[in-house]
């Protein structure tokens, strides 16, 4: 099954007899607080207009736990996550489509969590809300309670030690911007740089200017050139496990399975004992 869905395909699915559950995960990484500006309000954006039937999901509160030693967006408490998904109408045997404001990161985080915890049919709206040509509504959705019970998968998740090992034995992609990977700048975390052995693969290079993913064959060629050859285990990290989920989604579009280090750089760099590499080279 394709991990993404086009706007026209979604319109057809919503017009069918059993439409998918729609989740609106509009979210932005914001540095506004440091600038004295209010952060992006996804809930307000949803209230101002959303695809009919879409339920808002709060990434910070429902798709992550509170920031701490495990990073800025650690795994959510699965009871909290499961309850949020059921409130949104998510059931084990009903397809789910997730969208955000177009960047794709928030939607990818929800996609990854649902897939990792056992939902069999989840797709992301390619290009997000800007790709939607249908009507928007301000109506408050009232979904029927779902029955989804999240069960963590045996694979697909990396911790700090696993990420370090994979950087040596397989391929570990760093999905952040190149300047953060090199350590030229670090606007959020304690120190700049990257996990030794990790390869720079900014996730914004996986999409076209309109936010839609590049064709699968182009993505396969890109990741192969970066070392993701057949049989090589692949992992991804970013700043806090959000844009990294977007790269895992891009890899899925390319037909390449990959694990996510959810703690990512925000966890790794918080421990001064962990090694940090700087510059353009992996080591």
Indicate if 177 and 119 belong to the same structural domain: no
144 found inside a domain: no
Indicate if 73 and 162 belong to the same structural domain: no
25 found inside a domain: yes
Indicate if 257 and 167 belong to the same structural domain: yes
Q: Return all residues near 177 (Cβ < 8 A) that are at least 6 apart.
A: 202, 204
List the catalytic residue out of 88, 98, 238, 253. 238
Indicate if 101 and 201 belong to the same structural domain: no
Indicate if 113 and 59 belong to the same structural domain: yes
Indicate if 99 and 173 belong to the same structural domain: no
Return the closest-CA partner of residue 250 out of 196, 282, 187, 208: 208
139 found inside a domain: no
Alpha-carbon gap, residue 109 to 246, rounded angstroms: 7
Instruction: Write out the residue range of the structural domain in which residue 204 sits.
Output: 157-268
Indicate if 9 and 126 belong to the same structural domain: yes
Alpha-carbon gap, residue 183 to 77, rounded angstroms: 32
CATH number of domain containing 238:
3.40.250.10
At residue 16, the pLDDT reads 87
Indicate if 111 and 228 belong to the same structural domain: no
Examine the residue annotation and report whether 238 is marked as an active-site residue of this protein: yes
Indicate if 162 and 125 belong to the same structural domain: no
277 found inside a domain: no
Alpha-carbon gap, residue 100 to 205, rounded angstroms: 18
282 found inside a domain: no
Phi, psi of 246 (to 5 degrees): -65, -40
Indicate if 199 and 104 belong to the same structural domain: no
235 found inside a domain: yes
How many structural domains is the chain composed of?
2
69 found inside a domain: yes
Indicate if 45 and 98 belong to the same structural domain: yes
Q: Is 68 helix (H, G, I), strand (E, B) or coil?
A: strand
Tens-binned pLDDT, residue by residue, of the chain (283 aa): 799 999 999 999 999 888 999 999 999 986 645 456 678 899 999 999 999 999 999 999 999 999 999 999 999 999 999 999 999 999 999 999 999 999 999 999 999 999 999 999 999 999 999 999 999 999 999 999 999 999 999 999 999 999 999 999 999 999 999 999 999 999 999 999 999 999 999 999 999 999 999 999 999 999 999 999 999 999 999 999 999 999 999 999 999 999 999 999 999 999 999 999 999 999 8
At residue 17, the pLDDT reads 82
Q: Regarding beta strands 157-158 and 171-174, do their DSSP bridges make them parallel or antiparallel, or are they unpaired?
A: unpaired
145 found inside a domain: no
Q: Is 92 helix (H, G, I), strand (E, B) or coil?
A: coil
Indicate if 166 and 214 belong to the same structural domain: yes
């Amino acid at each position: 099954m394709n991990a993404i869905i086009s706007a026209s395909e979604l319109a057809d699915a919503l017009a069918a007899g059993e439409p998918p559950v729609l989740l609106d995960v509009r979210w932005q990484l914001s540095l506004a607080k440091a600038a004295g500006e209010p952060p992006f309000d996804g809930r307000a954006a949803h209230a101002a207009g959303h695809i009919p039937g879409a339920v808002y999901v709060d990434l910070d509160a429902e798709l992550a736990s509170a920031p701490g030693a495990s990073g800025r967006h650690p795994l959510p408490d699965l009871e909290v996550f499961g309850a949020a998904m059921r409130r949104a109408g998510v059931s084990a045997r009903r397809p789910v489509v997730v969208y955000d404001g177009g960047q794709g990161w928030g939607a990818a985080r929800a996609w990854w969590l649902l897939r990792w915890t056992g939902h069999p049919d989840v797709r992301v709206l390619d290009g997000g809300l800007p790709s939607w040509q249908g009507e928007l509504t301000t109506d408050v959705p009232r979904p029927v309670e779902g029955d989804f019970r999240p069960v963590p998968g045996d694979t697909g998740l990396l911790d700090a030690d696993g990420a370090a090992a994979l950087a040596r034995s397989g391929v570990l992609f760093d999905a952040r911007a190149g300047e953060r990977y090199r350590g030229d700048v670090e606007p959020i975390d304690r120190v700049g740089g990257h996990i030794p052995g990790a390869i720079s693969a900014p996730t914004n290079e996986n999409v076209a200017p309109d936010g839609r993913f590049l064709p699968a064959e182009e993505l396969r060629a890109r990741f192969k050139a970066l070392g993701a050859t057949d049989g090589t285990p692949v992992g991804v990290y970013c700043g806090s496990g959000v844009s990294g989920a977007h790269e895992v989604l891009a890899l899925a579009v390319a037909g390449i399975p990959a694990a996510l280090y959810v703690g990512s750089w925000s966890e790794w760099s918080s421990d001064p004992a962990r090694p940090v590499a700087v510059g353009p080279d992996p080591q």
